[in-house]
Structure 1
Amino acid sequence: MPVRIGTLLTLLLERPISLYAAAVLRIGYGFLYLAFLLREFPHRNDIWGPGSPWTPALARQLFDQTGWASILTLSDSRAYFEVCYTAAVVTSALFMLGWRTRAVSVLFAVVVTSFHARAIYLTDGGDTLILLMVLYLVVTACGRRWSLDARRTRLRASAGKTVQPPLDQASGELRRHLRDARLSVITVLHNCGMLVIAAQVCFLYGSAGLYKVQGAAWDNGTALHYALNLDVFQPWPGLSAVADEHDVLLAIACYLTVLLQVAFPFVLFGRLKYPVLAMLLGMHVGIAVFLGLPLFSGAMIVADAAFLPDRFYRALGRLWRRTVRGSAGGMADASRTPRALVPAQSERAG
């Protein structure tokens, strides 16, 4: 037991874990919320603004009972709402790009919380998951990789701007201790945040699977049949009708969904998690297409990405760079016309 405790403390204190996964979470949720805000731009006043049927006054009354808060209810002015909406779009974009991530992550959490609370009765599972994840990401070092912050750090290092002015021995020792303490705190907070994110996803899948086990529709394999025949979940009625014709496949999909969700927390520490994650990806794509829940599916796909190791993302980055260099080299070669294929002016004249 003491050995395991020492290993756990070493894992939490020495180095930040899953930096690339944290970056994927930042990029994914920033992009999803940005796309969500832009998609609802024509209806923004009806959903969150002063022209909404759920008026700011009603929202404030609910906040007094539930303890929620929203910057959107601080004023009933349409101009104030438009400023807040524009700021939300800009904040989402900056969070996705990783610009001043420490500060922007806090602003992004305020934005998501405010918009979620303002239209609390119009949210779904995707909104709730994004809200939880952005709150957890505040304490992580999600801007260390694939961000404008990381690019700025590399440029400063290459330019030699990280050289500190000479200090006396006492001041230098104090600064080193403060720097080490700061890095330790950042590392612990980041690691704890990533572990909480992983636990949240495991709890979500496990509870969803156990809840389905108790339902007769999932037990007899007819749950997806009923879902495909609900008007609210029919973005393409014709496609839903075609899928509903395959009773056996729908029953298999029901049982496989329950199995994957219940087994998910137990397969994370072995190689079996990779086929499970692949099947979950297919399941969420199917939910987005057949049931018309792209935000929920996108939020779940991004959450699943937290369980892929950093070596996977490093390999993905190397493959991307090779592909880009290969494409650039191919375009450069194509732009050079061989001299042998171009006749000289005198030959053409003759």
Structure 2
Amino acid sequence: MSADQMRTLPGPAADAAAPAPDLITRAFTCLTERPISLHAASVLRIGYGLLYLVFLLREFPNRDEMWGPASPWTPSLARELEGQSGWHSILTLSDSTAYFQTCYALALVTAALFMLGWHTRAISILFAIVVTSFHSRYLFMTDGGDNLTVLMVMYLTLTDCGRCWSLDAHRRRLRTSAPVMRPAVSARTGPLPVRQQAVLVRRLLSTLLHNCGMFVIAAQVCILYGAAGLYKVQGSMWRDGTAMHYVLNLDLFQPWPGLSHLADSHQVLAAIAGYLTVLVQVAFPFALFSRLKYVLLGALLSMHIGIAVLLGLPEFSGAMIVADAVFLPDRLLTRSHRGVAMPGWIHAGETL
């Protein structure tokens, strides 16, 4: 069929005769046309904002000894470590107590605003600076949960995590619902004005960054689980089923010794739990595109709750549970959202 004949075909026939786009074109179109997992990104924003706000409030009585000038790890020692580790903290810019108290108050406000989604693009950057600053101020107190939180809040600066369930979404809805006098549309054809072109480019870049950020978050969680499972396989205690016994008898991870001893008394169940932990972590990256994913997410949720209760690591478990939400589809989150009583501005702020 000649090119002239293809031009004379009706619309659907011409579309069918047109060559299908290549893989790179389809991938670029997928990344730039529509933002994915907007509600999952909002769950990540609310989850990490709430976790860090609760963390700062819980440590409020101990803030001077942990991060302030009264800390055994003095600001001068922290600055010396920064030169070796590459981390930087706004808390070490001054040794003044008043400066530290101001930074702590601003950190509380930033965490609350990030959780609520107020001017999220700018606040997400400030929140990332706050989290990395407190993390690098005393690296020796951090654990795996803190490391994951730092990574996630940095990735969230790329995403449009304030599009749904936020004050930004509520403000955007009020602005669009207000009557606006629009000028008459001109029938003139030609290139778009510079302002409209800038808006289109900004929207394309925003969508591209958001989708890439969500893909990176999902990849980070998959790498974390896969690496953790493969690392456990190399240990003899995980292979022979005795790892849970030794974990439950560590004095450092016994917030309730009686509960730990009760769990350890069921040795067969403890061995099964150890094997299932390794199996779920190794299998999870390979089950993302099947319905088995939801079964594994439920198993991981139970595992993290057990870690929080039995080992006394609620921050680590909370960070992992929030990270797992990246794999929940928006239709499931919106359905769950409608069944839960929420403040009116949250319902009004939903944009999808």
Taking structure 1 as the reference length, what is the TM-score of the superposition? 0.89
Describe the superposition over 1:91-124 as per-residue Cα deviations: whole angstroms up to 9, x where unpaired: 0000000000000000000000000000100001
Give the alignment of 1:66-81 within 5 angstroms: 66-81=85-100
Paired letter, 1:123: T
Q: Secondary structure at the match of 1:320?
A: coil
- Percent identity between matched residues is 64
- For structure 2, list consecutive stretches of 5 or more residues without a partner in the other structure: 1-19, 345-352
2:290 counterpart (270, 273, 279): 270
Q: Which residue of 2 aligns with 1:152?
A: 171
The whole-number CA distance in structure 2 between the counterparts of 1:104 and 1:165 is: 34
Q: Deviations over 1:271-322 (max 9, x none)?
A: 110010011000000000000000000000000000001111111122226x
User: What is the identity, as a one-letter code, of the residue corresponding to 1:119?
Assistant: Y
Given residue 303 of structure 1, which amino acid in structure 2 is its aligned partner?
A
SS where residue 118 of structure 2 aligns?
Answer: coil
Q: Letter of the aligned partner of 1:148 in structure 2?
A: L
Q: Which structure 1 residue ranges, 5 or more long, are not aligned?
A: 326-350
Match of 2:232 among 194, 201, 212: 212
TM superposition shift of 1:159:
1.3
Determine the structure 2 residue equivalent to 1:244.
264
In the aligned structure 2, how far is the partner of 1:89 from the partner of 1:7? 43
- The amino acid that maps onto 1:194 is M
1:176 aligns with 2:222: no
Residue 292 of structure 1 aligns to a residue whose secondary structure is coil
Indicate the SS of the match to 2:174: helix
Spell out, residue by residue over 1:152-182, the C-alpha distance to the aligned partner (whole angstroms, 9 max, x if none): 0011111135x56679979962222111110
- Equivalent residue for 1:133? 152
Q: Which amino acid aligns with 2:163?
A: R
3-state SS in 2 of match to 1:250: helix
Q: What is the one-letter code of the residue matched to 1:317?
A: H
- 166-175 or 179-188, larger mean C-alpha shift: 166-175
Q: Deviations over 1:46-105 (max 9, x none)?
A: 110000000000000011112211000000011100000000000000000000000000
Moved more, 62-71 or 191-200: 62-71
Change (3 A) 1:28 1:52: same
The equivalent of 1:18 in structure 2 is: 37
For 1:3 and 1:293, the matched residues in 2 are separated by 48
Amino acid at match of 2:298: A
Look up the match of 1:53: 72
1:72 is paired with a residue whose SS is: helix
SS at 1:139 equivalent: coil
Match of residue 131 from structure 2: 112
Distance 1:259 1:33, change over 3 A: same
Change in Cα spacing, 1:273 to 1:47, as seen in structure 2 (3 Å) is: same
CA distance in 2, matches of 1:165, 1:28: 42
Alignment of 1:265-304 (within 5 A): 265-304=285-324
Shift of 1:5: 2.8
How many matched pairs?
323
SS at match of 2:193: helix
Counterpart residue number, 2:25: 6
